[in-house]
Amino acid sequence: MENNPLILPGAGTCLSYGWAKMKQYFLPLLLVVIVASIFDPPLKILKTEADTPTTERLVLEVLGLAYFFLFVPVIKYGANYLFVQAVYDRKIELKDIFTGFNNYLNIILANLLVVSLIGIGIVALIIPGIIIACRLALVSYLVMDKNLDPIAAIETSWRKTNGYSWEIFLLAVTSVFIFFLGILALIVGIFPAIIWIKASFASLYKAIMQQEANTNNNE
């Protein structure tokens, strides 16, 4: 049964709620992170050696880019969807990490748009890129949870995150510290750190959706 307690859209609140969900669903979410990690290898694995023939190197680099832009986002969005399932106390089924292939085109186009917009913002003196990244933080959840098309997901994320940019930025900065603390704890700590981070961002999505729903109900 879906549990829907009210969460305030603040970094601290979402970290606290994400921590609670990590403890509640640790094993299934650990599996989600492990499976997602298998399909998301470090970029250096796909890099070619300098002495590789030019034509072969070009082919391998094109295949590597295709993999990261045409396959990895589907797994990433699927994993985010399962974290949304967790924060809403819905049933978590590992096979749903591949459910993005049923919504393939929307995911690929949404990811390309987000990456392009953030990239343009970063080129424009970095700070605009950070702002854009914060305002588009909900895109993957909206595509998967609300089945929105890329344009609608970007527009909706931009609208719903209005007024929450600092909280999203603070959550992102805190997540960096959590991640590095996980690294300091070696392999034992990195997976719990990733689970906590992803659960916290999914909690932020839930909190913002609730906040808007409550605002609309009170009007």
pLDDT in tens, 22-65: 999 999 999 999 999 998 865 545 555 555 667 877 887 788 88
85: enclosing H helix or E strand: helix 72-87
Phi-psi label, residue 162: left if phi above 0, alpha if psi -120 to 50, beta otherwise:
beta
- Residue pair 202/19 in contact by the 8 Å Cβ criterion: no
| Count of alpha carbons within 13 angstroms of residue 41, beta-carbon side | 7
Residue labelled with tokens 């399909």? 39
User: 59-68, 87-96, 187-196: lowest mean pLDDT where?
Assistant: 59-68
Per-residue confidence (pLDDT) for residue 48, from 0 to 100: 54
Per-residue confidence (pLDDT) for residue 186, from 0 to 100: 73
Closest CA relative to residue 73, chosen from 102, 109, 42, 44: 109
Question: Cα–Cα distance between 187 and 89 in angstroms, integer?
Answer: 28
What type of residue is 108?
A: I
pLDDT tens, residue by residue, 139-172: 999 999 999 999 999 999 999 999 999 999 999 9
pTM of the predicted model, to two decimals?
0.92
Question: Cα–Cα distance between 7 and 88 in angstroms, integer?
Answer: 11
Question: Cα–Cα distance between 35 and 17 in angstroms, integer?
Answer: 23
Question: Cα–Cα distance between 215 and 219 in angstroms, integer?
Answer: 6
Which has more pLDDT, 212 or 215? 212
Per-residue confidence (pLDDT) for residue 218, from 0 to 100: 63
Per-residue confidence (pLDDT) for residue 47, from 0 to 100: 57
